[in-house]
Amino acid sequence: MPKLELQGVIKRFGDRTVCDGIDLTVDEGQMVCLIGASGSGKSTLLRCINLLEPIEDGAIFLDGEDISIPGLNPQSVRARIGIVFQSFNLFPHMNALENVMLAPRRVRGLTRAELQPEVEALFARFGLADRMHNYPDQLSGGQQQRVAIVRALAMQPEVMLFDEITSALDPQLVGEVLDVLLMLKKQGMTMVMATHEMGFAREAADKICFLDSGRILEGGPPETVFGNPKHQTTQAFLARAL
Ligand code: ADP
Ligand code: MG
């Protein structure tokens, strides 16, 4: 059974169809990269998976369970599927540790003392042990984004979604954030990410999906999509992007 499965997902904004029948399977421990031009629907698709957007048709399964049925508590799904955005969205008035502990304290119902050892271990694992007491404006963009990833991981998600998490970073800070993704992959995390980092996608992804106007025009292993793209639109996109 796939860890995550999308069947015919349709998302509209008004009369505009932004996800136009998306089929996607993600096996446990896989990293799937969504690539495609701006406006092709990558962010919307990730938001649908996390139930931040209701879908018009189709279904989304997590461990075989339909999480897209109306009436399901989205909070319970979001505790299992973490998401990190391009803009780190850390609370400026809280230090890194407080930022990370806020949601798990509420959602997992743990006290600060119960949670702290686990969270400190996460900070240490991602090279942030000496940054826990810093406020966001005392951290570099790369550090802030790593704190945002730690914050999502503190919920102990089964799947992680990343929406262009390196796009707002200075080029010299991109590597440290991509390294975190490689660590997560090594640890067996199931991940779906939208990215413009084609070199990384080619190296690290198990599967590439090229989105065009809300459809997966072409999907498969990186060797195939990058090495031998079938569609002219994919070829043109890659020629511009690489
Ligand atoms: P990408 O992440 O690939 O750049 P998006 O998912 O952000 O693409 O956007 C896909 C399309 O959906 C775009 O045309 C965008 O303008 C539109 N869109 C995204 N969010 C909304 C919204 N909340 N309301 C209306 N249109 C939206
Ligand atoms: Mg986007």
pTM of the full predicted structure? 0.96
Instruction: Take atom 24 of ligand 1 and give the residue whose Cα is closest.
Output: 13
**Lining residues, ligand 1, CB within 6 Å:** 13, 18, 36, 38-44, 194
**Mean local confidence (pLDDT), 180-204:** 97
Q: Which residue from 165, 170, 172 is spatially nearest to 147, judged by alpha carbons?
A: 165
Residue 71: what pLDDT? 86
Per-residue pLDDT for 242 more than 90? Answer: no
The number of the ligand nearest the C-alpha atom of 87 reads 2
Residue 107: what pLDDT? 85
The number of the ligand nearest the C-alpha atom of 37 reads 1
Counted residue by residue, the chain has a size of 242
| Residue pointed to by tokens 């990269």 | 33
70 CA distance to ligand 1 centroid (A)?
23
Per-residue pLDDT for 109 more than 90? Answer: no
18 CA distance to ligand 2 centroid (A)?
12
Would you say 194 and 211 are in contact if contact means Cβ atoms under 8 Å apart? no
Residue 24: what pLDDT? 98
Would you say 216 and 209 are in contact if contact means Cβ atoms under 8 Å apart? yes
| pLDDT tens per residue, range 13-72 | 999 999 999 999 999 999 999 999 999 999 999 999 999 999 999 999 999 999 999 889
**What residues have their beta carbon closer than 5 A to ion ligand 2?**
42-43
Of 9, 11, 43, 216, the residue with max ligand 1 atoms within 8 A of its CB, to mutate for a pocket test, comes to: 43
| Mean of pLDDT over the chain | 96
139 CA distance to ligand 1 centroid (A)?
30
Tokens of 42: 């990558």
Instruction: Take atom 21 of ligand 1 and give the residue whose Cα is closest.
Output: 13
Per-residue pLDDT for 193 more than 80? Answer: yes
Rounded CA separation 87/136 (Å): 12
Tokens of 142: 């790369």
Rounded CA separation 191/162 (Å): 8
Would you say 197 and 226 are in contact if contact means Cβ atoms under 8 Å apart? no
110 Cβ neighbours under 8 A, 6+ residues apart = 104
Rounded CA separation 159/191 (Å): 6
78 CA distance to ligand 1 centroid (A)?
21
Q: What is the ipTM of this complex?
A: 0.98
37 CA distance to ligand 1 centroid (A)?
11
Amino acid at 87: S
Distances (CA, A) of 176 to 14, 42, 170: 39, 23, 11
